[in-house]
Amino acid sequence: MPYLLGPSIGFGLVTASILALAAVGFTMQFGVTNILNLAYGEVMATSGFVALIVNRAGLSIWFGMAAAAVFGAALSYLLNRVIFIPFARRGTKLFGMVIVTIAVGLILENSILAITGPNFFSYIVPQESTYSVGFLILTTSQIVLMGLATLAMIAVHSLLRLTRLGMAMRATASDASLARGCGIRTERIVDAGWLISGAMCGIAGVALFINTTSFTSATANSFLVVIVAAAILGGVGQPYGAMLGALVIGLTSEIAAAFLNPAYKNVVAFVILVVVLLLRPQGILAQIAVQREIAR
């Protein structure tokens, strides 16, 4: 048994790391702006393909990841400014906004498909060495991804707990109108939220593509539901909840893949989600269910 459990925990931790990067970004975006952005997977994908271009130009994939972070931040910021905020001003509610984000996602994903065709792509990743850490056996890039996710989580924690911006973000996430009543310029905080979460989205896209080794224009979108599941599991808009959700889903899905049927990898995670929704609709960590309007 340990010979199966060890690797699956290793895979689980790597998946959880990627998931944490993506889900924390997703949930921060949602928490601050109150827009459930179902185009998030496609922003991951576009950023991942930007990294591919950088990578193909002969630079290391880690440079590509930096480029993807910048691109993801810029694209998210622009999507909000050019599309989401105008729609919100025009009176589109939570409801309609989900459909707006789906439409944006369809356009993004299929634009990539139109350019790349239904082909598989891979990054050029330097020769991998393997290391055994206890009962885990991990490759270089897996270790880097896990370290990166850990760093990102520490950074998010410090941002939210220790900085003024973080305080303003939490206030805006809690009640944007009241935050304005404390002198917080919420529109700037919302911009910051899109930029930060967009950067995490870009990094997560590249991390996902490194880990899946070969990818298409649709790879990230099929991962989106897992991301959203992790975010909801912990309580949407709760960064710590998303970390916990990522860990739970990452580990269970890989262990399920090893012991049950690899095809049910995600189904097990989803079943956990459904059970949580039944017992605790607001998510594991959320104190109360959020009920707010779109922040701008």
Under the rule (CB under 8 A), what is the footprint of other proteins? 36, 38, 83, 86-87, 90, 92, 94-100, 102-107, 109-111, 113-114, 117-118, 164, 167-168, 170-171, 173-175, 177-186, 225, 228-229, 232, 236, 261, 263-264, 266-267, 270-271, 273-274, 277-278, 281, 286-291
Minimum CB separation from other proteins for residue 117, in Å? 4
- Judged by beta carbon, residue 62 or residue 215, the one nearer other proteins is 215
The amino acid that residue 7 corresponds to is P
187, containing H or E segment: helix 186-212
DSSP structure string for 135-169: TEEEEHHHHHHHHHHHHHHHHHHHHHHHSHHHHHH
Nearest-angstrom CA–CA distance, 105 and 46: 10
Q: Where in the chain does DSSP place strands (E)?
A: 130-133, 136-139
User: How far lies 116's CA from each of 30, 112, 143, in Å?
Assistant: 30, 6, 30
What is d(CA 97, CA 110) in angstroms, rounded to the nearest whole number? Answer: 20
Q: Among residues 167, 227, 217, 192, which one has the least CA distance to residue 16? A: 227
Torsion angle (degrees, nearest 10) of CA 285, 227, 277, 254:
-100
SS3 64: helix
Burial of 132 (0-12, 13-18, 19+ CB in 10 A): exposed
| Closest CB to other proteins among residues 126, 281 | 281
CB of 19 to other proteins, least distance (A): 15
Of 64 and 283, nearer to other proteins (C-beta) is 283
Residue 240, CA atoms < 13 Å, CB-side half-sphere:
10
The nearer residue to other proteins, 125 or 285, going by C-beta atoms, is: 285
Of 176, 39, 167, the residue nearest 103 (C-alpha): 39
**Between 1 and 278, CB nearer to other proteins:** 278
Of the pair 1, 114, the CB lying nearest other proteins is at 114
Nearer to other proteins among residue 119 and residue 150 (C-beta): 119
